[in-house]
Amino acid sequence: MNIMLLGAPGAGKGTQAAKLIDAYGFAHISTGDILRKSVANKTPLGMAAKGYMDKGELVPDMVVIGLVKARLQEPDAEGGFILDGFPRTVVQADALGTALDELGKKLDAVISIEVEKDALVERLTARRTCKQCGAIFNVVSQPETANGVCPACGGELMQRDDDTVATVTNRLDVYERSTAPLIAYYAEKGLLRPVNGNRAADDVFGDVRAIVEA
């Protein structure tokens, strides 16, 4: 099964992707993760992307489209994949459609995680990620993480460079302007499956699982 997770920054796409991978073993295709790795490794791609990411702007369409096209052809994508954070514009969505046609693949569902806007700023600025295992936490709702240590593996928790209040506001504006139109885009294709994301991650996952197993 090939799934796309759609939702504003902070809606819980990464958290639900991790749960889907645990439960079903799908390949995880996260453009944000690929770009962050490239930035950390100071590759030419990372150097080019960093300026956009730090400001909360989108990296140019052609760059991310190329990344995803290559990633879709890796062997693990054969057994089903989760697109997380891609597409983010109508141009990217059109390019994805073409790439999937060329590869003889298709999207089975676009799971749209809907969260109230006020909650998103709060979630993003409270988000911490484990440097070691990549698990995602919230220092407000999970006070056991306030000491900066990952409860899962003991690794160091860090805040993403773009999870600061200033950048978060711009990321949410960019989402409204460029990505939210994809809700109507995929509804028209009959693929949209909305999920109420204003709940605990496990409750949201109950609905996500029902969609995958429908």
Decide: is 16 part of the binding site for ligand AMP (CB under 6 A). no
End-to-end CA distance of the chain: 11
Residue located via tokens 């509804």: 187
Least Å distance, CB 192 to ligand AMP, is 18
Decide: is 56 part of the binding site for ligand AMP (CB under 6 A). yes
Decide: is 110 part of the binding site for ligand AMP (CB under 6 A). no
**Bridge partners of residue 4, in order along the sequence:** 83, 110
Return the residue of 8, 18, 45, 59 that touches ligand AMP, per CB under 6 A. 59
Q: Alpha-carbon distance 21 to 212, whole Å?
A: 12
Q: Alpha-carbon distance 81 to 175, whole Å?
A: 23
Return the residue of 4, 17, 18, 58 that touches ligand AMP, per CB under 6 A. 58
Question: Beta-carbon neighbour count of residue 74 at 10 Å?
Answer: 11
- 57 or 108, CB closer to ligand AMP? 57
Return the residue of 7, 12, 32, 197 that touches ligand AMP, per CB under 6 A. 32
Is 128 annotated in the active site? Answer: no
List phi, psi (to 5°) of 200. -60, 150
Q: Alpha-carbon distance 151 to 127, whole Å?
A: 14
- 12 or 85, CB closer to ligand AMP? 85
3 state SS of 28: strand
Decide: is 95 part of the binding site for ligand AMP (CB under 6 A). no
- 101 or 173, CB closer to ligand AMP? 173
Give the catalytic positions in this structure: 13, 88, 127, 160, 171
